[in-house]
Structure 1
Amino acid sequence: MSVFTYRNGVLHAEDVALPAIADAVGTPFYCYSHAALTAAYRSYADAFEGQDAAVCYAVKANSNLAVIRTFADLGAGADVVSEGEMRRALAAGVPAERIVFSGVGKTRGEMRAALEAGIHQINVESVPELEALSEVATSMGVEAPIAIRVNPDVDAGTHAKIATGKKENKFGIDWDHAREVYGRAAALPGLAPLGIAVHIGSQLTDLAPFRAAYERVVELLHALRADGIDIRRLDLGGGLGIRYREESPPDLTAYAGMVRSITGNLGCRVTLEPGRSLVGNAGILVARVIFVKQGLHRRFLIVDAAMNDLIRPTLYDAYHAIVPVREPGPNPDIAPIDVVGPVCESGDTFALQRPLPAMGADELVAFHSAGAYGAVMSSTYNTRPLAPEVLVRGDAFAVVRPRPSIEAMLAAERMPDWLA
Structure 2
Amino acid sequence: MFTQTSRPAAQEPVRNADGESLAFDGVDLEQLAQRIPTPFHAYSASAIRQRIGSLQAALSGLDATICFAVKANPNLAILQLMANAGVGADIVSVGEMRRSLHAGMPPERIVFSGVGKSADEIAGALTVGIHRFNVESHDELLTLQHLAEAQGVTARAAVRINPDVDAHTHAKISTGKSENKFGVSIDEARRWFAERRRLSHVQLDGLHVHIGSQILTLEPFRLALQRVAEFWRELEQDGHPITSIDVGGGLGVCYRAGVDQPVAAADYVNVIREALADYRGKLLLEPGRYLVAEAGVLLTRVIRVKPGIERQFLVLDAAMNDLQRPSLYDAWHDIVPVSNASRPLTTYDIVGPVCETGDTFARGRELPECAAGDLLLIKATGAYGTSMASTYNSRPLAAEVLLNQGRYALVRRRQHFEEMIAGEQPARHWETA
Measured against the shorter chain, the TM-score band is over 0.9
List runs of 5+ in structure 1 lacking aligned partners.
none
In the alignment, structure 1 residue 166 sits paired with structure 2 residue 189: no
Q: Secondary structure at the match of 1:399?
A: strand
Q: Secondary structure at the match of 2:195?
A: helix
| 1:284–1:366 contact (8 Å) kept in structure 2 | yes
* Partner amino acid, structure 2, of 1:48: L
Give CA-to-partner distance per residue, 1:65-87, whole Å, 9 cap, x none.
Answer: 10011011011011000000011
- Aligned equivalent of 2:261, options 248, 251, 254: 248
Displacement of 1:19 = 2.2
Equivalent residue, structure 1, for 2:300? 287
Equivalent residue, structure 1, for 2:13? 4
| 1:134–1:189 contact (8 Å) kept in structure 2 | yes
Give CA-to-partner distance per residue, 1:125-180, whole Å, 9 cap, x none.
Answer: 00000011110001111110000100000111110000000000000011232201
Equivalent residue, structure 2, for 1:307? 320
CA distance in 2, matches of 1:109, 1:182: 25
CA distance in 1, matches of 2:33, 2:82: 26
Equivalent residue, structure 2, for 1:153? 164
| 2:399–2:412 contact (8 Å) kept in structure 1 | yes
Give CA-to-partner distance per residue, 1:78-128, whole Å, 9 cap, x none.
Answer: 100000001111100111100011000101111111111111100000000
How many residues matched? 417
Q: Secondary structure at the match of 2:32?
A: helix
CA distance in 2, matches of 1:157, 1:307: 25
Equivalent residue, structure 2, for 1:357? 368
What is the aligned-residue identity percentage?
Answer: 48
Q: Secondary structure at the match of 2:409?
A: strand
Displacement of 1:189 = 2.1
CA distance in 1, matches of 2:65, 2:110: 10
* Partner amino acid, structure 2, of 1:2: Q
Gap change, CA 1:82 and 1:416, over 3 Å in 2: same
* Partner amino acid, structure 2, of 1:315: L
Moved over 4 A (4+): none
Give CA-to-partner distance per residue, 1:336-386, whole Å, 9 cap, x none.
Answer: 110000000000000001011101001110000000000110000000000
- Aligned equivalent of 1:197, options 188, 193, 208: 208
Summarize the alignment of residues 4-23 of structure 1 with structure 2, pairs less than 5 Å apart: 4-7=13-16, 8=18, 9-23=20-34
Summarize the alignment of residues 319-330 of structure 1 with structure 2, pairs less than 5 Å apart: 319-329=332-342
Equivalent residue, structure 2, for 1:67? 78
* Partner amino acid, structure 2, of 1:190: H
List runs of 5+ in structure 2 lacking aligned partners.
1-9
In the alignment, structure 1 residue 25 sits paired with structure 2 residue 36: yes
In the alignment, structure 1 residue 206 sits paired with structure 2 residue 213: no
CA distance in 2, matches of 1:136, 1:65: 29
| 1:307–1:343 contact (8 Å) kept in structure 2 | yes
Equivalent residue, structure 1, for 2:284? 271
Displacement of 1:418 = 6.0
Gap change, CA 1:95 and 1:227, over 3 Å in 2: same
Displacement of 1:328 = 3.4
| 1:390–1:400 contact (8 Å) kept in structure 2 | yes
| 1:148–1:182 contact (8 Å) kept in structure 2 | no
- Aligned equivalent of 2:353, options 319, 342, 345: 342
Summarize the alignment of residues 373-388 of structure 1 with structure 2, pairs less than 5 Å apart: 373-388=384-399
| 1:3–1:33 contact (8 Å) kept in structure 2 | no
Displacement of 1:255 = 1.3
Equivalent residue, structure 1, for 2:191? 180
Higher mean C-alpha displacement, 3-12 vs 363-372: 3-12
| 1:311–1:378 contact (8 Å) kept in structure 2 | yes
Equivalent residue, structure 2, for 1:262? 275
| 1:56–1:272 contact (8 Å) kept in structure 2 | yes
